[in-house]
Amino acid sequence: MSEHVPALTGAPVGTYQQYVTVRIASQLFGLPIQMVHEVFAPDAITRVPLAPPAIAGVLNLRGRIVTMLNMRCLLGLPAAEGKGMAVGIEHDGEAFGLMIDDVGEVLGLDTAKREANPANLDARWSAVAAGVHRLSGELMLILNVELVLRGAGTVKAITASSY
Amino acid sequence: MDDLLQEFLTETNESLDVADVELVKFEQDPNNAEILNNIFRLVHTIKGTCGFIGLSRLAAVAHAAETLMGKFRDGRPVTADAVTLVLSTIDRIKWMLSAIEENNGQEPEGNDQDLISLLEEMAATELPPPEPEPVPEPPKVEAAPQTLERDLLPGEIPLDELERLFRETEVELPARGKDKAKEAAPAASAAASSETTASASSSKGDSAKGDSSKSDAPKAEPPAEPKAATASVPAPVTTSGAIAKADGRTPATQGGAQRPSGTPSGVPANAEEGTHASALSAQTIRVSVGVLEQLMTMVSELVLTRNQLMEIARRQGDSEYKVSLQRLSNVTGELQDAVMRARMQPIGNAWQKLPRIVRDLGQELGKQIELEQIGADTELDRQVLDQIKDPLTHMVRNSADHGLETPEERRAAGKPERGTIRLSAYHEGGHVIVEIADDGRGLNVGRIKQKIVERGLATEAEVSKMPDVQAFRYIFQAGFSTAEKVTSVSGRGVGMDVVRTNIEAIGGTIEVHSKLGQGSAFVIKIPLTLAIVPALIVRAADERFALPQSAVVELVRVQPGTDHAVNWFNNVPVLCLRDKLLPIVALGTLLGLAPEQDAHQADQWTDALIVVLRVGAETFGVVVDAVSHTEEIVVKPMSSTLRQVPMVSGCTILGDGRVIMIVDPAGLAQGAAARGAEAAEMDLNTAEATHRAAAAEERTSLLLFRAGSREPKAVPLGLVTRIEELEVSSIERVKGYPVIQYRGALIPVLYANEEVGRAKSGTQPMLVFSAEGRVMGLLVDEIVDIVETPLDMQLSPSGMPEVLGAAVISGQATEILDVGFYINVAFGERFEQLTRVSTRPKLLLVDDSAFHRDLLAPVLKGNGYDVTTCSSAQEALERLGDDEEFDAIISDLELPDMDGFALAAAVRDDPRNRDLPIIAVSASRDRDTIERGRAAGFTDYVARYDRAGLIEALKEFAGRQGAAA
């Protein structure tokens, strides 16, 4: 796992990282704030035929085509009931939206207190998580955006080959 | 890296590409002084500019090359070796340039002494120019050459020359004006177009020199002024005088050759330089690709916004904005056109490297190849241009390698030794057509068809009916190469499929035309641009999709009572459109958005909208739910995660802000074909093996009846002679066996099984089987039906000896009964008594299907043969090898591992078996198979269910064998 979470090893002790907290199903996740461009309510998502299941589709966000990733699907959770929210992120000049249930507050956390993924974490979860923070009353999983996008990509590779 | 260097790199690279082309031309036409001059000037420019910027290593190489080029100008014969050397020098320069670019302006380490010494050697070993060097006249202005304290580095420009250059540069413009004023316009244009004609050079010499040396020099006199200019260059340049001589020209040569070094921009700033583009260059500016791309994106956005506004206007009906909106729309359209034009580049840019490639190939392959280029100025979008560069190169290579014959072959075929590859390009309604034609050997249809069959891409029967053009299309299949030998150039069977993929990726198509012995032509049709395309917006599976208009042929509405109708072939829908049958697919289903079973409801398409698409030569129909409108859509690329998604080439934003997918027609065609293949595969799976598939395809007539249980039972109708209603009172008993009198003879009758009702009175249905005079009756409960169906029988483990197996017939599980078993029961013992075993002819029956074995063996036994059965050819050969003597072999043609043909051949290989009759039994009856069978050594051929025929054949052959023995 260590090669998946390079940020862990190089982080100096005592530095603070701000996280945008989001909720998917009942679980709290944290996204490094510098990755998050915006938060928006996804509307009029167009399905992409034959796309990987984790890709919900694309939408037009102020003239830009945003590829929407269904986080619940990626994490193997049942589909959400409500419309939910989306976190806009930018990667390699392309715009992506992570579909989540709800957006919470921004938390500043000590990186030194971050703990590694529990060994028995669901494989689909540990594939996108870069560690855990213990908050008062609950645990927050850190989402690694790179891994999330790669996760959507691997799913693609499988579906493409089976096609 | 500073701007100057950046500019130098860009320009030098361009110049080198030109130099490549020019050199190849020069080699073919060494006497063309104009070409020579062009090359010399190019190399010289490079050298000069290098010196300017301080790239000494580069300058040294360029200088050595220039020296050699100078020799050519002296009239030294141009050899292929020399041109190769210069070309490799140019390659070296290119390498260094790219290294400089990578190293941020630093020249790579090392030196090029190897190359330079080769160049110098070649320049030095040459005989002195044939003509005596003219007496150098004292230079006028350059009379007092300034000298440096040190030796000049190779390629460095002497100070005096520099000074002269500055002087000349200063006064060029006035000179031009003066020239124009003085001379008639034609003369000026002549000067602009050519420097080699005598008149032009004289007038030019006049004007060029008029300023630098105040027209002192006599017009056409060769005073060899350059001597002074070049004398101070230390390298083996001792040729300037001869240069002038060879050109028959005055100091203009000097100016022509050296002035560019003083104008580092490289773009000839004045018409007098004589390059063709010069007149235009004053009106063009260099714009970076990035700026153009940005412009394009912005225009695309503008088009989108315009579309949105138009949509709003459409909804609002009459509005005051309408007029202004119309104007905005027009202007946007024009702007779009203009920006598109700015992105256009002549296709010649993609061809630039080809002459060099063709030349090198020609040398490598020992062929004489001429490359003709027609329509190199045809313009197309640079994005498209980039995409077709590699495919074009590949195809030209292919033509040179495979297409064209060697000179000997060409001579033998009565063609000129020199082969021609003709590249042509032209516009045709929104598309660019590029043609690569050669006058070589052409494609061998026979070989291609053979290959198609070998690779199992089509059957022989299909291939024989296949039109040539369709067969040629197979050369674009991966791994398909008919080249007998793999060369370093091509023949590996990779490439053509990549070519097709690349071209189809940009919405283009490729076709091949060829005549054996006369050559072949590849015709590529590509769109002018990829950025904005007209598209048809359709609806399917509750989503809208854009279908590129270029692929749409027509829209068809299928309705009851119209001429067009959807027909079904075994769950595959086809559209009868006029005289054609088109495969159709439902867009929603194909894209995986609509449930699969929808497509299988045969009645759902009695009223449907079908978009007929054409991709290449493929025409097919796509069923959509609704057709909306056509729109100029701006193609937006999909994110990288989605780029590999099949059948979708991009997306666009519609007027209402929704994103919709652009469907890729080529992908659709492939997807549709894949579905067809899938269906075929399923058939194969159920049939288990190929022979089964053949048996399944051949429908078998079965008699269905009930005997005991409710489930029907069946026997092959071919084995049933009659169906009778038997008066049960007529059943008698002989030795405890039930018999009846039937047509004047006693025949045994059996009940099909224990459960069959034994009627006490009245009639009971009876099947009459006959095996060569032996007739028996089988009593059953009820005759159900006669069906003709593909027979796909699974052997039954029921343990009941009379049951061969079960099959699903008309949707019901049906037991197939074994007629042979009943015949055995009814006659077996009696035959044993009638014929002594030793005299019975022995047969070897080879069939991998237990069904067929069990079907035939009893019949044969019933006819007095002793039958040994084998399930494979291998087993049969073992039996034969066991010194067992057989009177005849009956073999199925379709056997696993080793087929009947191979078996027959193997049997015939053994001298003892040379006269052994071998009778083939097979389902297929076509002439080819029969011929092949005869060739393999089969004595006769009998169709699978033709028992009478088989018995006849056995009588004839096995009997004869017996008589001979």
Q: Which sign does the torsion angle of CA B126, B127, B132, B135 carry?
A: positive
- Sheet containing B918-922, strands listed edge to edge, beginning at the edge strand earlier in sequence: B866-870, B842-846, B888-892, B918-922, B940-943
Give which of B317, B424, B422, B435 is closest to B376, Cα–Cα: B424
Q: Which of B112, B130, B148 is the last residue of a domain?
A: B130
Q: How confident is the model at residue A29 (pLDDT cuts 50, 70, 90)?
A: very high
SS3 state at B704: strand
N- to C-terminal Cα distance for chain B? 100
Q: How far is B665 from chain A (nearest CA, A)?
A: 14
- Sheet containing A16-24, strands listed edge to edge, beginning at the edge strand earlier in sequence: A102-110, A16-24, A27-32, A139-143, A129-134
B321-346 exposure pattern, b = at least 16 Cβ within 10 A, e = fewer: eeeebeebbeebeeebeebbeebbbb
Give the whole-angstrom CA distance, residue B334 versus residue B245.
Answer: 54
* Number of domains forming the structure of chain B: 7
- Looking at the fold, whether B340 and B351 belong to one and the same domain comes out as no
Residue B151 lies in a domain: no
Residues from chain B contacting residue A49 (CB–CB below 8 Å): 591-593, 645, 647-648, 661
Q: How far is B646 from chain A (nearest CA, A)?
A: 7
β-bridge mates for residue B336, sequence order: none
Residue B453 lies in a domain: yes
- Looking at the fold, whether B262 and B183 belong to one and the same domain comes out as yes
- Looking at the fold, whether B251 and B324 belong to one and the same domain comes out as no
The stretches of B798-946 forming alpha helices (DSSP H) are: 819-834, 850-862, 873-881, 900-909, 927-936
State residue A96's pLDDT score: 92
Contact predicate B223/B250, CB 8 Å? yes
CB proximity B624 to A under 8 Å: no
State residue B570's pLDDT score: 66
CA distances from B547 to B219, B533, B615, B666 (A): 68, 10, 12, 11
CA A1 to centroid of chain Cα atoms: 17
Is A60's CB within 8 Å of B659's CB? yes
CA B137 to centroid of chain Cα atoms: 65
Region A122-134 average pLDDT: 88
State residue B391's pLDDT score: 83
Can you tell me which residue has the tokens 């006659």?
A: B827
Give the whole-angstrom CA distance, residue B786 versus residue B793.
Answer: 17
Q: Which of B318, B344, B370 is the last residue of a domain?
A: B344
Residue B138 lies in a domain: no
Backbone angles phi, psi at B707, to 5 degrees: -145, 105
- Please report how many Cα atoms fall inside a 13 Å half-sphere around the Cα of residue B466, on the Cβ side: 22
State residue B131's pLDDT score: 43
Q: Which of residues 24-63 of A touch B (CB under 8 A)?
A: 44, 46-52, 55, 58-60, 63
CA distances from B93 to A5, B36, B40, B125, B859 (A): 46, 19, 15, 24, 86
Q: Which sign does the torsion angle of CA B669, B673, B676, B682 carry?
A: negative
- Looking at the fold, whether B164 and B272 belong to one and the same domain comes out as yes
Backbone angles phi, psi at B935, to 5 degrees: -65, -35
Residues from chain A contacting residue B638 (CB–CB below 8 Å): 48, 58, 65, 67
Nearest CA in chain B to A154: B641
Residues from chain A contacting residue B648 (CB–CB below 8 Å): 48-50
CB proximity B632 to A under 8 Å: no
Among left, alpha and beta (phi > 0; psi -120 to 50; other), residue B447 is alpha
State residue B586's pLDDT score: 87
Assigned architecture for domain A2-157: Beta Barrel (2.40)
The stretches of B609-732 forming alpha helices (DSSP H) are: 665-687, 690-697
Q: How far is B584 from chain A (nearest CA, A)?
A: 19
Domain-by-domain residue ranges, chain A? Answer: 2-157
For residue A160, give the nearest of B592, B644, B661 by CB distance: B644
Give the whole-angstrom CA distance, residue B293 versus residue B192.
Answer: 35
For residue A47, give the nearest of B543, B639, B647 by CB distance: B543
State residue A21's pLDDT score: 93
Residue B864 lies in a domain: yes
Per residue in B680-708, pLDDT (tens digit) is 444 444 433 333 334 334 567 788 888 87
For residue A46, give the nearest of B644, B645, B658 by CB distance: B658
State residue B34's pLDDT score: 76
Contact predicate B655/B307, CB 8 Å? yes
Which residues, other chains included, contact B474 with Cβ-Cβ below 8 Å and sequence gap of 6+? B448, B451, B452, B457, B480
Residues from chain A contacting residue B591 (CB–CB below 8 Å): 49-50
β-bridge mates for residue B568, sequence order: B573
What is chain B's length?
965
- Looking at the fold, whether B517 and B372 belong to one and the same domain comes out as yes
The stretches of B618-710 forming alpha helices (DSSP H) are: 665-687, 690-697
Q: Which of residues 517-546 of B touch A (CB under 8 A)?
A: 543
- Looking at the fold, whether B395 and B502 belong to one and the same domain comes out as yes
Can you tell me which residue has the tokens 């020249």?
A: B107
- The parent domain of residue B861 ranges over 835-964
Residue B139 lies in a domain: no
Q: The tokens of B123 are what? A: 């320049």
- Sheet containing B803-809, strands listed edge to edge, beginning at the edge strand earlier in sequence: B782-790, B699-706, B713-716, B812-817, B803-809, B794-795
Q: How far is B540 from chain A (nearest CA, A)?
A: 11
Residues from chain B contacting residue A55 (CB–CB below 8 Å): 641-642
State residue A30's pLDDT score: 93
- Looking at the fold, whether B507 and B613 belong to one and the same domain comes out as no
For residue B301, give the nearest of A58, A63, A163 by CB distance: A63
State residue B771's pLDDT score: 67
Give the whole-angstrom CA distance, residue B719 versus residue B702.
Answer: 9
CB proximity A67 to B under 8 Å: yes
Contact predicate B674/B763, CB 8 Å? no
Is B657's CB within 8 Å of A44's CB? yes
Give the whole-angstrom CA distance, residue B939 versus residue B888.
Answer: 10
Contact predicate B627/B618, CB 8 Å? no
- Looking at the fold, whether B781 and B738 belong to one and the same domain comes out as yes
SS3 state at B610: strand
The stretches of B317-425 forming alpha helices (DSSP H) are: 322-343, 348-351, 354-365, 382-398, 407-412
Q: How far is A23 from chain B (nearest CA, A)?
A: 25
Residues from chain B contacting residue A48 (CB–CB below 8 Å): 638, 642, 645, 648, 651, 661
Which residues, other chains included, contact B386 with Cβ-Cβ below 8 Å and sequence gap of 6+? none
β-bridge mates for residue B520, sequence order: B438, B514
State residue B128's pLDDT score: 47
Q: How far is B854 from chain A (nearest CA, A)?
A: 42
CB proximity B279 to A under 8 Å: no
State residue A99's pLDDT score: 92
CB proximity B280 to A under 8 Å: no
| DSSP states of B527-560 | ES-SSEEEEEEEEETTEEEEEEGGGEEEEEEE-T
State residue B158's pLDDT score: 57
Give the whole-angstrom CA distance, residue B666 versus residue B17.
Answer: 35
Contact predicate B647/B590, CB 8 Å? yes
Q: Supply the Cα-derived Rg of chain A in whole angstroms.
A: 16
CA distances from B638 to A57, B451, B541, B653 (A): 11, 39, 21, 12
Residue of A48, A55, A154, A155 to mutate for B, most B C-beta atoms under 10 A:
A48
- Looking at the fold, whether B399 and B512 belong to one and the same domain comes out as yes
Give which of B674, B698, B743, B580 is closest to B944, Cα–Cα: B698
Can you list the residues of chain B whose pLDDT is less than 70? Answer: 1-4, 51-52, 125-282, 429-430, 478-495, 570-571, 579, 596-604, 616-617, 675-699, 771-773, 790-801, 811, 828-839, 862, 883, 923-927, 945, 958-965
Q: Which of B645, B679, B713 is the last residue of a domain?
A: B679
Is A60's CB within 8 Å of B642's CB? no
Per residue in B466-512, pLDDT (tens digit) is 778 778 878 777 666 655 544 444 444 446 777 887 787 777 778 88
CB proximity A94 to B under 8 Å: yes
B868-895 exposure pattern, b = at least 16 Cβ within 10 A, e = fewer: bbbbbbbbbbebbeeeeebbbbbbbbbb
- Looking at the fold, whether B941 and B846 belong to one and the same domain comes out as yes
β-bridge mates for residue B888, sequence order: B843
β-strand B509-515 against B543-548: which pairing, if any? unpaired
State residue A14's pLDDT score: 60
Which stretch of DSSP H or E encloses residue B889? strand B888-892
Residues from chain B contacting residue A47 (CB–CB below 8 Å): 543, 593
Residue B587 lies in a domain: yes
Q: Supply the Cα-derived Rg of chain B in whole angstroms.
A: 43
Backbone angles phi, psi at B266, to 5 degrees: 80, -25
Q: How confident is the model at residue A39 (pLDDT cuts 50, 70, 90)?
A: very high
Q: The tokens of B444 are what? A: 């061998």
Can you tell me which residue has the tokens 């159900």?
A: B784
- Looking at the fold, whether B536 and B660 belong to one and the same domain comes out as yes
Size of interface A-B (CB pairs under 8 A): 74
Residues from chain B contacting residue A65 (CB–CB below 8 Å): 636, 638-639, 651, 653, 659
Nearest CA in chain A to B678: A163
- Looking at the fold, whether B782 and B903 belong to one and the same domain comes out as no
Nearest CA in chain B to A93: B639
Residue B614 lies in a domain: yes
CA B375 to centroid of chain Cα atoms: 24
Residue B146 lies in a domain: no
Residues from chain A contacting residue B641 (CB–CB below 8 Å): 52, 55, 67, 149, 152-153, 156
Is B645's CB within 8 Å of A96's CB? no
